[in-house]
Structure 1
Amino acid sequence: MLGRVFETLADALRQLAPARPAHLYLIDNGAPGELIGVPKGALRAEFVLETIAGHGNVGYGRGHNLAIDRTQSRYHLVLNPDIELDERGLVEALSFLEARPETGLLTPFIRDESGEQQFLCRRFPSMLDLFARGFLPSSARRLFSKRLARYEMRDVIGDRIVVWDPPIVSGCFMLFRTDVLKRLNGFDPRYFLYFEDYDLSLRTHEIARVVYVPAVRILHHGGGAARKGGAHVKLFVSSAFKFFQRFGWKWL
């Protein structure tokens, strides 16, 4: 999967004009002595690869912050290792950002492996929204379909129209102006996993605009904390508590 991420990223970078190599940080949160191998084909002309390793599993946000602290770029893309970029994705994204300087954070159209759209823009959640979406079986989840559709912004998020200022966007692909990201000090390190993107999205609105641009397209292979086992459920609940403690509790 990581090799495919690198391949599609290189394809997207080649479409930029003038062509210029990007600095790619591969953050390895594995334990010392258990580092991942760099995938075949990783050494490409389209990017300069720097692996950040040896720090152990410091969590998702803190791991990304290791790269954010180092970068001197104009734009910084937070990218999960389960993402395939559309070939024209970066051209469309950077063209939009160049034309709209008020934009601090851009989120794309996201589809799954079957081609269906994933609705990963969010309104502010309630505890009931999170429980119904994350942990109820599909048969029971249908009882909350209208509520969840509103939470997932299905009334406004489509495949054609740009949507300004969705409250929360997914951390699987977050394209920032680097100066905005540095002013926010990156991700809040108090979240080990889950809700760090919710937190960062809401803080971004305080200093810049957030935008959903469907001309920028990606394929996302991941998601679903409840399907990943008990440890992930505990992390999800712990991070949800921290999130609501910071931004206010909403039960129903």
Structure 2
Amino acid sequence: MRSTSPDAPQNKPVTVSIVSHGQLELIRPLLEQLDALSAAMVDKVVLTINIPEPDLLAGLRFRFPVERIENSVAKGFGANHNEAFNHCASDWFLVLNPDIRFDSDVLAPLVAQAAPDAGLLAPRILEPGKETPEQHRRLITPLEILMRRRPGYPIPAVPDWIPGLFMMFRSSVYREIKGFDERYFMYGEDFDICARTQLAGWRLQIAENLLTRHEAQRASRTSRRHLWWHVTSLLKVWASGPFWRLRWMRDRAD
């Protein structure tokens, strides 16, 4: 691991975990936005280099440390963030996609709004070319996937799960549920960890008044390998205990 440590106070509330799959060109503006808008909140950024790539961040300095983990062998989404969590000493652990963008500080108001029983926080996400944020997600099933874009789809007031683009965990909760399930390689782990968070008695809290942008890199729509990972991960979700326990809990609530 390499670390850059500017002269800045430590023990700020948020550790940020970002994983690069040859994406440092995308990550540079994200770090610059965090530095410009949210430096007062960021204790450190743990940047995982999952595959070898040119160092496009060489010589850059930010108002927070950037600790680098350079993998000798590529790991999955959950394994990378679980390793990054081992370097977290702050109250909140933020899993962030390289292609998330900020127009204002989201971290401070998000933490300020956190309810005592909220284990996982997120803002609303605006996708490219859209004027309104992504709709909340219901329990993921084959029927839900087919129906979610159709007119009349019943959008829940509170989501059953949120995608892994922006997930701010209470660190004690992430530790309690033992982080991501590493049996998922790249898809499905976001639903699974949301299910286990709720099954442990914590809720997902969405800040309806806060917005981030997603410069979407939808590899599963263009890559057969990513599509295969996506489909096999969904099958793992539907065969998992957390899926069925959350479904039973939702059925009881209805």
- TM-score, length-scaled by structure 1: 0.78
**Deviation above 4 Å: which 4+ runs of structure 1?**
none
Residue 213 (structure 1) aligns with: 207
In structure 1, the residue matched to 2:45 is 24
**Does structure 1 residue 39 correspond to structure 2 residue 60?**
no
* C-alpha distance in 1 between matches for 2:169 and 2:130: 26
Report the Cα distance in structure 2 between the residues aligned to 1:85 and 1:223, rounded to whole angstroms. Answer: 17
Q: Which residue number in structure 1 is paired with residue 93 of structure 2?
A: 76
The 1:217–1:41 alpha-carbon spacing in structure 2 relative to 1, beyond 3 Å, is: farther
Work out the number of aligned pairs and report it.
218
Q: Percent identity?
A: 30
Q: Deviations over 1:77-114 (max 9, x none)?
A: 110000012322112111112xx221111111111233
CA distance in 2: counterparts of 1:79 and 1:94, whole angstroms: 15
Inter-partner Cα distance in structure 2 for 1:113 and 1:202: 27
| 2:180 aligned residue | 187
Distance 1:36 1:60, change over 3 A: farther
Structure 1 counterpart of 2:237, which letter? F
Match of 1:205, SS?
A: helix
* CA-to-aligned-CA distance 1:190-233 (integer Å, 9 cap, x gap): 00011110000011112311111122221101254542221111
Which stretch of structure 1 is more off in the superposition, 62-71 or 223-232?
Answer: 223-232
Distance 1:168 1:92 in 2: 21
Task: Give the 3 Å change call, closer, same or farther, for CA 113–197 of structure 1 in structure 2.
Answer: same
Look up the SS of the partner of 2:235 in the other structure. Answer: helix
SS at match of 1:213: strand
1:106 aligns with 2:124: no
Distance 2:235 2:184 in 1: 10
> In 1, are the aligned partners of 2:50 and 2:75 still within 8 Å (CA)?
yes
Aligned ranges 1:173-184 → 2 under 5 Å: 173-184=166-177
Unaligned 5+ segments in structure 1 are: 134-140, 157-162
Q: Identify the residue that residue 136 of structure 2 maps to in structure 1.
A: 121
1:167 partner SS: coil
Q: CA deviation at 1:12?
A: 2.5
Which structure has greater helix proportion? 1
Kindly tell me: are residues 26 and 241 of structure 1, through their superposed partners in 2, closer, same or farther at Cα, counting changes over 3 Å? same
SS in 2 for 1:188: coil
Partner of 1:239: 233
Which of these residues, 161, 173, 177, is aligned with residue 168 of structure 1?
161
**In structure 1, C-alpha distance between the alignment counterparts of 2:38 and 2:151, rounded to whole Å:** 39
State the Cα distance separating 1:234 from its structure 2 match: 0.5
Change (3 A) 1:73 1:241: same
Is 1:228 aligned with 2:230?
no
SS, match of residue 76 in structure 1: strand
- 1:49 is aligned with what amino acid? V
TM-score normalized with structure 2 length: 0.77
Q: Which runs of 5+ in 2 are unaligned?
A: 1-25, 248-254
Check whether the contact 2:127–2:134 (CA below 8 A) recurs between aligned residues: no
Provide the rounded CA distance (Å) in 2 between the counterparts of 1:227 and 1:202. Answer: 25
Preserved CA contact (<8 Å) 1:3 1:42: no
Aligned to 1:199: 192
Q: Distance in 1 between matches of 2:70 and 2:58?
A: 18
In structure 2, the residue matched to 1:136 is none
Alpha-carbon deviations, 1:142-174, whole Å to 9, x = none? xx443xx33xx3x53xxxxxx4xx210111000
